Amino acid sequence: MKALQFNVSVPQFVLAKSVAPVAGKQVFYKGPLKTVQLADIPEPERPSDNWAKVKTIYCGFCGSDLNLILLHDSPTASPFTSFPCGIGHEIIGEIVEAGPGIKHLNVGDRVAINPVLACEARNISPVCPSCQSGRSGNCENLAEGSLPPGMFTGINSKINGGFAPSMVAHKSQLFKIPDAVSNESAVMTEPLAVALQTIFDNMPKADDQILVIGGGVIGNLIIQSARTLAPNCRISVIEPSPSAARLALEMGADQIIPYKKVFKQTEQITGATVYKPMIGTEIAMGGFHRIYDTIGKSSTLNLSLRILSAMGTLSVVGIGGDVKLDLTPMWLKLQTVKGVYSYGMVNNNGKLRHVFEIALDLLNEGKIKADTLVTHKFRLEEYKKMIEVNLNKSEHGAIKTVVSFT
């Protein structure tokens, strides 16, 4: 079968990165140095009775997929990946084979796939402390056990991702999609789970002033998640795209802050006092109680610390590569900086539940409007066009793009 496959060597990495500033980003998906291509791979087989074979319906194209293709990711994560790998981790499909170890699902069920390949999927017992605590997405054994290295489905050389007509998934990865949830909503389960986990890990209190930096897919879902889980908080957003800003307001944001007016607006919204150092950028005393930075670059992280309140919490959602930070605001204001990655078990209304379950319930209840974000569908063979649309989203009016196998 055909699959969208990623592969890179160290010489290729170095050469492609050196050529790209002159040749353009197309060097990463066209020509001799390309990192991704359609490849013929064998039909996947279930590794054990605890696995199912799934026919893919939709697979979303994530910003992290684009970063992978463009070689933006830090090599620090390379021990926890294996190549070549069939990419794609925002997956929904239909079970076509179910091993006898799978008791909660049947052939024909539509499922959303949690892509994490943690201790349980790797046949590791006892499980690591992270998995024991319910945070399997932060498993300590991502390069161990019965599978090759690979944090999740889509960057593992044995378990191909969702940009292929079929795949296999461990029982721990499978969540049944309610009948009333459309495929367009269901394919957003994985990014919605990221947004929900972000809020659960940095939950606004009533009347908190919060700021979301970036109104793209994850930013919009964070806005919706915050509005749903903490309805009395006040949500400000920094987003330069007029269309994304409008959608942020439609989905629950209270106001959009122009980037050039951020310090003045911080004073007006939060009651902070802004001070000007003898050299350099302003700093606010007071400010937003919680900030969710979906960009994760030096500029946005430094800004966040300067307008975050004393004892406030910054959630770093975006992955912007190497950054340079002035940590003065952090120690001066006793701030907390939290990493955001993956999802797991949380206490929801007194019950311990996986965030994927909560995401599907909220989609089913219509409390999260995720299908609105799905703007473009492509066939697998159109992957180059899909990459180009994602490189110029504003030009194409794109928010979330997906590959459809229906």
pLDDT along the chain (406 residues), means of 10: 97 95 96 97 97 98 96 91 97 98 97 98 98 97 98 97 98 98 98 98 97 98 98 97 96 96 98 97 98 97 98 94 93 98 95 98 98 97 98 95 97
CATH value at residue 288: 3.40.50.720
| Residue 308 · residue 326 · CB < 8 Å | no
pLDDT at 320: 75
87 shares its domain with 111: yes
Residue 183: which H helix or E strand, with range? helix 183-186
| 49, part of any domain | yes
Torsion sign (Cα): 74, 78, 79, 80: positive
Q: Which two tokens stand for residue 160?
A: 């191909």
Torsion sign (Cα): 394, 396, 399, 400: negative
297 shares its domain with 397: no
Give the end of a domain, one of 291, 322, 339: 339
250 shares its domain with 209: yes
Q: How many CB atoms lie within 10 A of CB 405?
A: 18
Residues with Cβ within 8 Å of residue 228, at least 6 apart in sequence: 362, 367, 368
| 36, part of any domain | yes
236 shares its domain with 179: no
| 344, part of any domain | no
For residue 243, what are the CA distances in angstroms to 62, 139, 327, 392?
Answer: 19, 38, 34, 14
Give the end of a domain, one of 318, 339, 360: 339
179 shares its domain with 205: no
CATH value at residue 129: 3.90.180.10
Residue 18: which H helix or E strand, with range? helix 10-23
Q: Give 204's DSSP letter.
A: P
Amino acid identity of residue 397, one-letter, is G
Q: Which two tokens stand for residue 132?
A: 């024991």
| 353, part of any domain | no
210 shares its domain with 329: yes
291 shares its domain with 319: yes
pLDDT at 181: 98
291 shares its domain with 386: no
pLDDT at 275: 98
State the residue for tokens 């796939």: 113
Q: How many domains does the chain have?
A: 2
Rounded to whole angstroms, how far apart are CA atoms 63 and 61?
Answer: 7
101 shares its domain with 120: yes
pLDDT in tens, 29-81: 999 999 999 999 999 999 999 999 999 999 999 999 999 999 998 889 999 99
Strand spans (E) along 21-172:
36-40, 51-61, 85-86, 90-98, 110-113, 166-170
| 350, part of any domain | no
Longest dimension (CA), the chain: 69
- The half-sphere exposure of 312 on its side-chain side, counting CA atoms within 13 A, is 27
Q: Which domain holds residue 26?
A: 2-188+370-404
| 345, part of any domain | no
168 shares its domain with 224: no
| 356, part of any domain | no
258 shares its domain with 383: no
As a whole number of Å, the CA-based R_g of the chain is: 21
392 shares its domain with 258: no
